[in-house]
Amino acid sequence: MATATASEHVTIPPFRPSRRILLGPGPSEVDPRVLAAMAMPLLGHLDPEFVALMDETKTLLRRVFRTENHLTMAISGTGSAGMEAVVVNLIEPGDRMLVCVNGVFGGRMVDVAQRAGAEVTAIERAYGEVFDPSEIENAIKKCAPKVVGIVHAETSTGAWQPVEEIAKIAHQHGAMIAIDTVTSLAGVPVEIDAWGIDAVYSGTQKCLSCPPGLSPVSFSAQAAEVIANRKTKVQSWYLDMQMIQRYWGSDRIYHHTAPISMNYAFREALAAVLEEGLEARFARHMLNHHALKAGVAALGLPYLTVEGHQLPQLNCVGIPEGIDDLTVRKRLLADWGIEIGGGLGPLKGKAWRIGLMGHGSRRDHVEIVLSALETCLADLGHPLKKGEAVANANVVYAKAE
């Protein structure tokens, strides 16, 4: 094959992605208002208008996190950058950290803490289960951690972990608590001040219905003081909150070139959340979850997350015996343009993760994924009654109306 020279004219067509219905564990469907914001002209990262947008974004984010924390902003990077920012800023080499692991992302927190030099104690629950506050208290008494880390919404399993009592226990024993709200923020209640959370991180690509690229974080006054009084430098230069907050604060000292378009998008995503209203948004997610759950039951698919702790925005359901995971997911994508997620870790090949997040949490999405799954399963010989899945979902919607 001949190689083009610099003088030859080459036409390279623009990339045009296929239209997808994103019903996996993320990224989620993006609000058109958010997509439009990303096409606006760039400003410099120290332009007065962009600085004003940063200030407004902090105010909006505090309202979504339900906090008055001064140290609240968006880290340039995905949710994993937020996890790392929280850990490396609070942990110094030799500090003790207790991490609660009931899925992939609790395990990732252990790895991040170990890399930061922490003496990590990990307690574990099976995938799909949640922790009892008493077992966490027993672990705290044994290891006396500086920080307790726990995932509020485990994306790998759909497990919804209550954290309010755990935060109280941590504080009673002199520990701080840090939580992962990557999948929970703007989908279910997140009450940072009311729950007494010291550090929190999230992501933009889940229930905020924004592209991936920023990680909202917030630190309590106590956590901010711990960061300010460190004896050692933060392991990560890029994620050092002492430097980042000087850029996001009144000093506006250059740290890095912020992703301008992503910040436009994030501002619009927060505005859309607050215009809908947090309580209304939570209710919408819950209604669509109940409708999907009714339809999934008609297909004979069990939920793999313990009852009473199932996230409305991330539904982890079991794959029937004899049905191949990839065969179904490939057909969903090819025939309907629907993306759902497969299982992770011990759930690989055994679970489907169906996301109903943010702008994607809609009745039409519930109906199309149920109808498509029904067709796939029926064609593979799985016993079911045609049309029953969508009919069951519609009963839930009719009751709500």
Q: At residue 6, does pLDDT exceed 80?
A: no
pLDDT tens digits, 288-344: 999 999 999 999 999 999 999 999 999 999 999 999 999 999 999 999 999 999 999
pLDDT tens digits, 231-241: 999 999 999 99
User: How high is the pLDDT of residue 3?
Assistant: 60
For 156-179, what is the mean pLDDT? 98
Mean pLDDT of the chain: 96
pLDDT tens digits, 150-160: 999 999 999 99
- Helix or strand run (H / E) with residue 48: helix 48-65
Residue with tokens 């309010």: 164
Quickly state the pLDDT bin for 9 (edges 50, 70, 90): confident
Do 358 and 186 touch, CB atoms closer than 8 A?
Answer: yes
User: How high is the pLDDT of residue 250?
Assistant: 79
CB hemisphere CA count around 339 (13 angstroms): 13
Q: At residue 1, does pLDDT exceed 80?
A: no
Helix pair angle (241-248, 221-228), 10° resolution: 120
Q: At residue 5, does pLDDT exceed 70?
A: no
User: CATH: 3.30.470.20, 1.10.357.10, 3.40.50.300, 3.40.640.10. Which one for 32-275?
Assistant: 3.40.640.10
pLDDT tens digits, 63-81: 999 999 999 999 999 999 9
More confident residue, 366 or 5: 366
Q: Which fold has domain 278-400?
A: Aspartate Aminotransferase, domain 1 (3.90.1150)
What is the rounded distance in angstroms from the CA atom of residue 131 to the CA atom of residue 99? 11
**Residue 287 — φ and ψ, nearest 5°?**
-60, -45
Q: At residue 2, does pLDDT exceed 60?
A: no
Report long-range pairs for 335-341 (Cβ below 8 Å, ≥24 apart): 335/372, 336/21, 336/368, 336/372, 337/18, 337/19, 337/20, 337/21, 338/20, 338/21, 338/23, 338/368, 338/369, 338/372, 339/20, 339/21, 339/22, 339/23, 339/24, 340/23, 340/24, 340/369, 341/24, 341/25
User: How high is the pLDDT of residue 396?
Assistant: 98
Q: What are the start and end residues of each CATH 3.40.640.10 domain in the chain?
A: 32-275
What is the rounded distance in angstroms from the CA atom of residue 76 to the CA atom of residue 57? 14
Q: What are the start and end residues of each CATH 3.90.1150.10 domain in the chain?
A: 278-400
User: How high is the pLDDT of residue 252?
Assistant: 82
Model pTM score: 0.95
Q: What is the CB neighbour count within 10 angstroms for residue 384?
A: 16
Share of the chain above pLDDT 90, in %: 94
CA-only gyration radius of the chain, Å: 22
Amino acid 177 reads I
User: How high is the pLDDT of residue 249?
Assistant: 82
Closest CA to 181 of 168, 172, 173, 167: 167
Q: At residue 4, does pLDDT exceed 80?
A: no
For 97-103, what is the mean pLDDT? 98
